[in-house]
Structures are given as C-alpha cells and as structure tokens.
Amino acid sequence: MSDRRLFIGGEWVAPSTDQVLEVVSPHTEQLVASAAAAGIADVDRAVAAARQAFDSGPWPRLAPAERIAAVRRLMGLYKERRKEMAQVITDEMGSPISFSKFSQATLPMLLMGAFADIAESVQWEEQRPGAFGQDIVLRRDPVGVVAAIVPWNMPQFLLVGKLVPALLAGCTVVVKPSPETPLDANLLAELVEAADLPPGVVSILPAGREVGAHLVTHPGVDKVSFTGSTAVGREIAAACGTALKRVSLELGGKSAAVVLDDADPAAVAEGIKVAGLMNSGQACVAQTRVLVPRSRAADFTDALEAMVSNLVTGDPNDPATEVGPLVAQRQQERVRGYIASGQDEGARLVVGGEKMPAGLDRGWYVAPTLFADVDNSMRIAQEEIFGPVLSVIPYDDEADAVRIANDSDYGLSGSVWTAATDRGLDVAGRIRTGSFGVNQPYSMDPAAPFGGVKASGIGREMGREGLDGYLELKSISVATAR
C-alpha cells in the first residue's frame, strides 16, 4: 500500500519531492506501506493556503456555532472509522491493539465532542464596566495560523488535542505528523476532507525534522504547538522567542508514583501496570519511578515483580497482548542501553533485561524490566527511557518521598497510592507537576487541563484552558457618542 499525495489546503496534491516515508512494522520488521514525505516547498504552499484562509477566508469569521457544527461532523466521520484508525496505528507503530482501540482511536473521538461542548460554553464576547466610566468590550479572537507538530507515540490523541481546539477558536492549521506515523495522519486527512471545511483551513504534512524546523520558523505562522522531546522543545522555544511567536510545549517526563506505607501492594502493582507501562512504556506521562517506603520495600517489589513477570508481551494485534514492540530499532537499542546503564550503576535487576522476550525471534521488542534498589541519581531514574522499564526507589519517610519525587528536571505527571485519600491529596499538593492522580494514574480527562512544569513544557492542552491557548484577548474601550 502506498500513497504519493499530500493533503494541502483541503485538497490532495502531488508533493514537491519524490521522497517517501517507508512504514515498517515494529513486530514483523516488514514494510507495511509508504507515504509521500513533505518538502520545504510543501510547507510554504500549506502556510500560504492557511494564511489566505485566515486573513481573507470565511473560517475565522463564521459564528462559533458553525465551527462547532463542523467539528461535530468530523467527530461523526471519525466514529465511523475509529476501528480502522486503531488498526492503522497498531500496524505502523506497534501499539497493542487493546490500547489502540480506546486510547489511540476512541479517546480522540471523545476529545472532539468534549471540546465542542466546551466551545459552546465560551463567552466569545462580553461587556464589563471600565474603572474610569467607559464600557469595555472583551473579545476572544483566534490566534492565527497554527503549526501543530506531533510525535509518533500517541499520534491521534495528540493531533486531535491541537487541531480541534485550534479549529474551534477560528484558527487555520498546518499539521506535521511524525515520519514514523504518516498513515493515521493521512486517514485523518480523509476525514477532514469529508467534513467539508473551507479551503486552506487544514493541511497535513508528514515529514522529518528539517521540514518541521522550517514550519516553526516560517514567518506566516503565528503559533507553534509542539509535543515531543525536551531537547527539541528548547530549540523551538528559542526560535519562537526570537520571533515573538506564540508557543506551547508538551515535553518529556520522568514521573514518580509515590507509594505510601498504608497502600496495598497488589493494588499498587495493578495501577503501575497502566501508569508506568501503558503503550509499552512509550508515554510521556509514564510513571516509571516507583517510590516505596524502605520499611516495606520488599512487599512492594515482590508485587511489582509478579506483575511484570506475568505481562503478556508479543504480537500487538493479539487482543491479549499488554506490551508490544517499540516503534523502531533505534528505540529498542536506546532502551537496552539504559538497561545496561542501570546494571553498570549498581541497580538490582529483578526481572527482564533479556535481549528478546521469550518466544520472540524478530521485532523491536524489549522484555518488560524491573529494577530495585535504585538511587534517584542514576540515569535510569533521571532520564526519560521511553520503554517498559520500571525503577523502584526506596525512601525513608514521607518528606523524603516528596523530596525524591521533586528531584527531577521534569514535572509532567505523577501519582500517590494510599489508603487515606486526605493523606494522598496532601502529598499531591507538595509535588511540582502539572498533573497528578490519587490512587490512579493521572486520568487524561478531556475536561482537565494537561501540561507540565520545569522541563516538561509550557502551557496547557485539553479543557477550557486548551481552547484558550488558541485565542487572543482583545479589549475595546467604548466611549459614549457626543
């Protein structure tokens, strides 16, 4: 299967180059499909179309209700093909199909509806009395042309989380998906086309980093919304700062699950299965640092060992699979390098660490791995691994647990596990992070703003705050006519 077209300005066109993106199955290591790769000229064409649509087209000038109706049309189309979307994502990046069906396909559809509901409650224009006797009209206007850059690990959830609020705000959007996952992006483009948006409003350009850099620095772009690594995020922030361009960044994480001494080991292990190992550990919110009281470290480590040892690892198309392959061979080698580093630095390998999980002779797999007796200064505790590797870190008392949880460059997610909710809320209030869960992994609720502090990013997505990120406030003073 191959497609040599790009979706630019609302129509399918021939790309400016003959370069292609080859999509290889992480499970079979065989070619799945190929897709056209966008070039620099394609970015220029897409931004020009978006600029024209924003400056002169109808989209920003429609009544908000009309944009909401368009998003609901898109949601209906998405619902009809969400099973296909889940399968495409599993095929191209190896996400277990059970995870793809909900988190990679159904959840993005639900996000569309949640944003449409939020937009219906927005007061797009309001009046307030001025301090000096004049009336003030406050308008919420779209920020302009948006560059939305998304990674491969949660491609649809992250893409929809940028595209839909931008559209509802009245922006026009150029999306750059990851080169590892062009197929689901092109499927979404088909749905956008069927939703019958005005020309120029949406372009989708699968491409590599060079094209993304050109999009970021393009003078026709008013805002950049990026999800990806902290290293790239710093470069984007610098470029946007120089241009005084609006920017939001959702970056890396090294989140902690704080286990208090009254928690149940079996419940904690079941929770960490999701919190730390969702999507085979390829999640920025993964809580891979498991902080346990030193006095009960053996109890919690044993429960985690049993959980990790019994994970079903293998074919991502098998509904029983819990851990699939990693997205690419380079990612497999990266994760294995961290496992070797953990052993070299003195962490105790409890389970996993094998070159290939039992029963598998191909695919970019890493056996689910658990380390114990980890010191928080080790690389496996400080650096984002992005694979199925957990580190158990002992602490002395509650204050020590909070200190260790905060001893990180990152601040994206986290959780606390306890029999006493009030105690958990107290711990949650003392940890510097953008999102947190009490007796659960942080829930990606569409109504809740999501984002990080410190090196985990700038700004928020989802919730009312996610829509606000694509709006500019305009204050208009009104004097009484004479």
Q: Which residues are annotated as catalytic?
A: 250, 284
Instruction: Scan for tokens 């590797």, then name that residue.
Output: 389
Tokens of 414: 């986290």
**Integer angstrom CA distances of residue 400 from 79, 292, 294:** 47, 11, 11
DSSP H or E stretch at residue 269: helix 265-277
AA letter at 4: R
3-class DSSP state of 444: coil
Residue located via tokens 């992070």: 433
Closest CA to 180 of 151, 211, 212, 209: 151
Cβ distance 202 to 192 under 8 Å?
yes
**103 near 85, Cβ under 8 Å?**
no
| Strand 457-458, strand 246-250: pairing | antiparallel
Q: For residues 175 and 161, give the distance between their C-alpha atoms in angstroms, rounded to a whole number.
A: 12
Strands 202-204 vs 256-259: parallel, antiparallel or unpaired: unpaired
The phi and psi torsions of 351 (rounded to 5 degrees) equal -155, 150
Please, what is the angle between helix 155-169 and helix 82-93, to 10°? 130
Tokens 């939020």 correspond to what residue?
A: 118
| Assigned token pair, 224 | 């950049």
Which phi and psi angles does 23 have, rounded to 5°? -100, 115
Q: In this structure, what token pair is assigned to residue 241?
A: 């700062």
Burial per residue of 439-478, b for 16 or more beta-carbon CB atoms within 10 angstroms, e otherwise: bebbebebeebbbbebbbbbbbbbbbbbbbbbbeeeeeee
Measure the CA–CA gap between 417 and 405, rounded to whole angstroms: 13
